[in-house]
């Protein structure tokens, strides 16, 4: 397990169903053993001296002493589980619930499913899990890729506007796989300048890919970076933008519908980044036959994500109405 060479197997590396989840993880011991296999299955890594694959002594389940520097390292240290007072199998149940709801979940939904007394806890857990949804070092998009911007939060028509009138600008890249879309990447951006848009493409698309955009000048430099740049002159062709760049426009409208539906549109710009990560995680795995594999991938991300203490998740300005711990109704 956790080996990059082989893909995880259903029923062996991850549970296939709710009853299996419960049978595998009756207590913290079992959860810690699973996390140890996930995090250190390819070799123990010491957080203190940085030794990779070095020797260690077991102290108790989930805790090891590095033979090189003698520091103790817990399997949950430096992860989103760090310092959690609730049992790990509640976390596992939360992850299972989150990956099994195709449209995503609200804090109220998670609170009632897990029987939490506190709405605040459910809200904080969901935000921590969103942070875990995008693994560092993930792969770049390849092949033909459509790129375009979209505006979130408002009704102002048109695009490429200077100043978004309080709206968030996001840029979306979608692999064009013919009739269907491949993987997506998206990010909130401060402006639609050439610097910003070119950086996004460089960060998310493999060199040599065919990048399709409209004729906005912000994309003019793409061809200088070993991409083959295909420009669609929307006005000239007479086709509206959603015909010229169909995949990216479909993804943008799915994203907007999802934000309005599951989250009632109550997402601030600051928190939008995490919702974009969640949308990306769900969209890119929408055809996964095994929801258990998403459970496995999300736990992998949770082990890689930095801990997010509650006070860092909220700032008074960042709290959206209807999705805040102070406003559980």
By CB under 5 A, name the binding residues for Zn ion. Answer: 46, 48-49, 66, 68-69
Q: Which is nearer to Zn ion, 66 or 181 (CB)?
A: 66
Beta pairing partners, 145: 175, 211
Beta strands in the chain (DSSP E): 56-60, 63-66, 72-74, 144-152, 168-177, 180-189, 210-214, 228-232
Q: Which is nearer to Zn ion, 46 or 93 (CB)?
A: 46
Q: What count of other Cβ atoms lies within 10 Å of the Cβ of residue 302?
A: 22
Distance, in Å, from the CA atom of 188 to the CA atom of 168, rounded to the nearest integer, reads: 7
Q: What is the nearest approach in angstroms of Zn ion to the Cβ of residue 51?
A: 5
Phi then psi for residue 77, to 5 deg, are: -60, 135
Q: Which is nearer to Zn ion, 58 or 217 (CB)?
A: 58
Q: What is the nearest approach in angstroms of Zn ion to the Cβ of residue 48?
A: 5
Angle among Cα 146, 147, 152 to the nearest 5 degrees reads: 125
Distance, in Å, from the CA atom of 183 to the CA atom of 294, rounded to the nearest integer, reads: 15
Q: What is the nearest approach in angstroms of Zn ion to the Cβ of residue 59?
A: 14
Q: What is the nearest approach in angstroms of Zn ion to the Cβ of residue 72?
A: 10
Q: What is the nearest approach in angstroms of Zn ion to the Cβ of residue 77?
A: 12
Q: Which is nearer to Zn ion, 55 or 203 (CB)?
A: 55
Nearest to 311 by CA among 112, 85, 135, 128: 128
Q: Which is nearer to Zn ion, 67 or 318 (CB)?
A: 67
């Amino acid at each position: 397990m956790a080996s990059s060479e082989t893909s995880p197997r259903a029923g062996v590396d991850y549970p296939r169903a709710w009853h299996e989840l419960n049978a595998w993880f009756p207590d913290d011991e079992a959860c810690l053993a699973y996390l140890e296999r996930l995090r250190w299955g390819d070799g123990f890594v010491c957080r203190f001296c940085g030794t990779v694959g070095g020797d260690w002594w077991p102290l108790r389940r989930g805790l090891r002493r590095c033979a090189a520097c003698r520091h103790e390292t817990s399997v949950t240290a430096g992860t989103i589980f760090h310092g959690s007072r609730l049992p790990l199998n509640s976390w596992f149940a939360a992850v299972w619930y989150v990956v099994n709801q195709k449209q995503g979940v609200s804090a109220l939904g998670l609170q009632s499913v897990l029987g939490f007394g506190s709405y605040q806890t459910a809200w904080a857990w969901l935000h921590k899990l969103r942070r875990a949804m995008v693994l560092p070092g993930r792969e770049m998009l390849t092949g033909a890729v459509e790129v375009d911007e979209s505006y979130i939060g408002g009704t102002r028509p048109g695009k490429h506007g200077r100043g978004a009138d309080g709206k968030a600008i996001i840029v979306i890249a979608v692999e064009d796989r013919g009739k269907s879309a491949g993987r997506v990447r998206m990010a909130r951006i401060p402006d639609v300048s050439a610097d910003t848009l070119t950086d996004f493409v460089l960060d998310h698309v493999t060199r040599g890919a065919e990048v399709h955009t409209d004729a906005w000048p912000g994309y003019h430099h793409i061809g200088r970076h070993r991409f083959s740049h295909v420009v669609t002159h929307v006005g000239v062709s007479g086709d509206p933008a959603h015909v010229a760049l169909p995949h990216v426009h479909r993804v943008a409208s799915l994203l907007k519908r999802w934000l309005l539906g599951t989250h009632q549109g109550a997402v601030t710009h600051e928190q939008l980044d995490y919702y974009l990560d969640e949308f990306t995680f769900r969209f890119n795995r929408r055809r996964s036959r095994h929801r258990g594999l998403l459970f496995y991938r999300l736990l992998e991300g949770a082990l890689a994500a930095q801990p997010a203490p509650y006070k860092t998740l909220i700032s008074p300005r960042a709290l959206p109405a209807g999705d805040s711990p102070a406003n559980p109704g």
